[in-house]
Structures are given as structure tokens and as C-alpha cells.
């Protein structure tokens, strides 16, 4: 079993877990900046193709009752939120015209 195992039925997303199953926003942001656009596109394409299945799975459980595998799936799809704008809008990893701007979440959601 891998450190970032996903629920049964989501094995096709497993190749992305090492890079994208990250429990805080800053780590996901930094992973986005470190990734190539080709890597972001591959992740986006694979995760968007399964979004309906993932939502159906996650919506079965209250957040505090997710299994470890379910939490990994949730974090993977939080990373999709970080990747969607660079793919759909900006066509680059960084926010355009933002210079050295950066932000840090002070409070993280409890899981």
C-alpha cells in the first residue's frame, strides 16, 4: 500500500498522489509553481475526467468520517482547484502581473 492510497476505483489517479496529495494550500501552491505546464495539464485532464465519480464518492460521507483514502482523494481534488486557473485561464503557473505577490492561509480546515 502506498502512503497516499486512494479508495478502490480510483487507481487511475494514483500516479498523481505523490505530487498532489498535500494537506495545506501553501504546499499545493508551491507544487503548482514547481510543476511544468505539461505536468499541470496531465493532472488537470486526468482529474477533470473523473470529477463526477469523485464528487459522488466524497458526498457519501461527512468530512470527519472520510477514511484515510477518502481524505487523500479530497486533498487531490483540492489540488485540482489550485491547478484549474493556470490551465483554464492564465496559461502559466503564476498569477499574471502579480510580481512577487504571495499569500499564506492562516487557518487550515480541520479534517
> Is the predicted pLDDT of residue 103 greater than 80, yes or no?
no
Torsion angle (degrees, nearest 10) of CA 82, 65, 53, 24:
10
Q: What is the mean pLDDT of residues 24-28?
A: 91
**CA–CA separation, 87 vs 38, rounded Å?**
10
> Grid coordinates standing for 11?
487507481
Domain ranges of the chain: 21-90
Per-residue pLDDT at 97: 60
CB atoms within 10 A of CB 98: 10
CA proximity to 14, closest of 26, 29, 25, 4: 4
Q: For the whole model, what pTM was predicted?
A: 0.83
Amino acid at each position: 500500500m502506498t502512503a497516499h492510497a486512494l479508495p478502490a476505483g480510483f487507481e487511475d489517479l494514483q500516479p498523481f498522489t505523490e505530487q498532489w496529495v498535500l494537506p495545506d494550500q501553501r504546499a499545493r501552491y508551491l507544487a503548482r509553481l514547481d510543476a511544468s505546464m505539461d505536468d499541470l495539464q496531465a493532472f488537470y485532464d486526468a482529474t477533470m475526467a473523473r470529477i463526477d465519480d469523485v464528487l459522488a464518492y466524497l458526498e457519501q460521507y461527512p468530512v470527519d468520517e472520510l477514511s484515510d483514502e477518502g481524505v487523500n482523494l479530497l486533498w487531490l481534488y483540492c489540488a485540482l482547484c489550485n491547478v484549474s486557473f493556470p490551465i483554464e485561464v492564465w496559461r502559466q503557473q503564476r498569477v499574471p502581473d502579480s510580481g512577487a505577490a504571495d499569500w499564506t492561509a492562516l487557518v487550515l480546515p480541520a479534517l
